[in-house]
């Protein structure tokens, strides 16, 4: 049987220290966060999003952004990124030594207004300024496009709108758009269709997929996206983060589960899976619950052998 060819190499973007910890109830001590980021980078992960320069009143889990950004010993060859919501966040990230940032847009109007308190258009006006100023400072900007496969408030999100907003973010200056299944509702046919629509307008290399495993479909969606030509995927060590729209359910796709499948498919990542497991085990005790990663649970259990 002929099958779609798969890419030889995939880039895994580690978002656990930011997207993961931001959605955990626990306040993790700053030195633990720093050790976690350093362990993740040491595993060979090429990109680590390490914090967010956001309002400590709104997101207390990220109140130590400056200390984390300054405290992490940089590993040569690793890229470090941080989320910023506006020009003030950009300035703070720059002051803390960041050279790469990310902005967080939404494809659903209701989600945008409830999550970042701005209309989609309002947020794009801000992000255009952020990207322009970041460019002047020599910083690279990644963009998230959340709720691209469904919205907790609006339900279905038109695919044409996702394509249009992705193109606008790239035109504004983003080097990559992480098209995001924020609530983990996507199934593989939907992912393949979306990738096909996006690839008709922009190169595959500027599209990342940010998948959540809330209904168990994340790795099947990765497989469909690999077959459709995507080579960059976000993941969170241990599946850190949960799902704010379904308390107790899984959220971010786990880095371990993603790596296990990619390596099993013969796809290179440059990452040592065992080292990621150790990083997750390092932060796990600070969270007050077990991490949802299937691979981590299997690796952490006692074998009868």
Q: Does 254 bind a copy of itself (CB under 8 A)?
A: yes
Q: Does 235 bind a copy of itself (CB under 8 A)?
A: no
Q: Which is nearer to a copy of itself, 2 or 136 (CB)?
A: 2
Beta-bridge partner residues of 140: 100
Beta-bridge partner residues of 141: 101
Question: x/- site string to a copy of itself, residues 135 to 164, per CB under 8 A?
Answer: -----------------xx-----------
Which residue stretch of 44-52, 83-91, 96-104, 258-266 sits at the interface with a copy of itself (rule: CB under 8 A)?
258-266
In this chain, which of 42, 96, 126, 261 binds a copy of itself, going by CB under 8 A?
Answer: 261
Contact present, 238 and 280 (Cβ < 8 Å):
yes
In this chain, which of 25, 26, 137, 265 binds a copy of itself, going by CB under 8 A?
Answer: 265
CB of residue 232 vs a copy of itself: minimum separation in angstroms?
18
Q: Does 277 bind a copy of itself (CB under 8 A)?
A: no
> Of 196-215, which residues contact a copy of itself (CB under 8 A)?
196, 199, 213-215
Active site residue 243: yes
Pick the catalytic residue: 178, 240, 243, 271?
A: 243
CB of residue 74 vs a copy of itself: minimum separation in angstroms?
31
CB of residue 105 vs a copy of itself: minimum separation in angstroms?
21
> Of 77-96, which residues contact a copy of itself (CB under 8 A)?
none
In this chain, which of 216, 268, 270, 289 binds a copy of itself, going by CB under 8 A?
Answer: 216
Match 């306040």 to its residue by tokens: 27
CB of residue 250 vs a copy of itself: minimum separation in angstroms?
5
DSSP code string of the chain: -------SB-EEEE-IIIIIHHT-SS---HHHHHHHHHHHHHTT-SEEEEEE---TTT-GGGTTHHHHHHHSPPPTT-EEEEE--SHHHHHHHHHTT-SEEEEEEESSHHHHHHHSSS-HHHHHHHHHHHHHHHHHTT-EEEEEEESSS-BTTTB---HHHHHHHHHHHHHHT-SEEEEEETTS---HHHHHHHHHHHHTTS-GGGEEEEEB-TTS-HHHHHHHHHHTT--EEEEBGGGTT--TTSTTS--BPBHHHHHHHHHHTT-B----HHHHHHHHHHHGGGSSS----HHHHHHHSPP--
Contact present, 156 and 142 (Cβ < 8 Å):
no
CB of residue 288 vs a copy of itself: minimum separation in angstroms?
16
In this chain, which of 112, 190, 252, 280 binds a copy of itself, going by CB under 8 A?
Answer: 190
Question: x/- site string to a copy of itself, residues 103 to 142, per CB under 8 A?
Answer: ----------------------------------------
Burial of 156 (0-12, 13-18, 19+ CB in 10 A): exposed
Match 């993790």 to its residue by tokens: 28
CB of residue 261 vs a copy of itself: minimum separation in angstroms?
5
> Which residues of the shown chain bind a copy of itself in the complex (CB under 8 A)?
1, 3-4, 6, 152-153, 184, 186-190, 192, 195-196, 199, 213-220, 222-224, 227-229, 243-250, 254, 257, 260-261, 263-266, 293-295, 297-298, 300-305
């Amino acid at each position: 049987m002929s099958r779609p060819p798969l890419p030889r190499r995939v880039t895994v973007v580690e978002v656990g220290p930011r997207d993961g910890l931001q959605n955990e109830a626990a306040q993790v001590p700053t030195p633990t966060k720093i050790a976690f980021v350093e362990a993740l980078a040491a595993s060979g992960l090429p990109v680590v999003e390490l914090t967010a320069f956001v309002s400590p009143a709104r997101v207390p889990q990220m109140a130590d952004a400056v200390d984390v950004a300054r405290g992490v010993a940089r590993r040569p060859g690793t890229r470090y990124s941080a989320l910023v919501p506006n020009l003030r966040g950009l300035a703070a990230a720059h002051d803390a030594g960041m050279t790469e940032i990310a902005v967080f847009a939404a494809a659903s109007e209701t989600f945008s207004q409830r999550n970042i308190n701005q209309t989609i258009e309002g947020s794009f006006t801000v992000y255009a300024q952020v990207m322009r100023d970041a460019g002047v400072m020599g910083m690279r900007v990644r963009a998230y496009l959340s709720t691209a496969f469904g919205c907790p408030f609006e339900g279905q999100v038109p695919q044409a709108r996702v394509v249009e907003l992705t193109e606008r973010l790239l035109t504004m200056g983003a080097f990559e758009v992480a098209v995001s299944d924020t609530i983990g509702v996507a199934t593989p046919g939907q992912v393949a269709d979306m990738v096909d629509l996006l690839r008709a307008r922009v190169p595959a290399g500027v599209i990342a997929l940010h998948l959540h495993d809330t209904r168990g479909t994340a790795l099947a969606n990765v497989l469909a996206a690999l077959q459709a030509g995507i080579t960059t995927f976000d993941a969170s060590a241990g599946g850190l983060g949960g799902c704010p729209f379904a308390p107790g359910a899984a959220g971010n796709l786990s880095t371990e589960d993603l790596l296990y499948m990619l390596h099993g498919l013969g796809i290179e990542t440059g990452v040592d899976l065992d080292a990621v497991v150790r990083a997750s085990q390092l932060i796990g005790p600070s969270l007050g619950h077990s991490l949802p990663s299937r691979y981590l649970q299997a690796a952490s259990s006692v074998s009868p052998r």
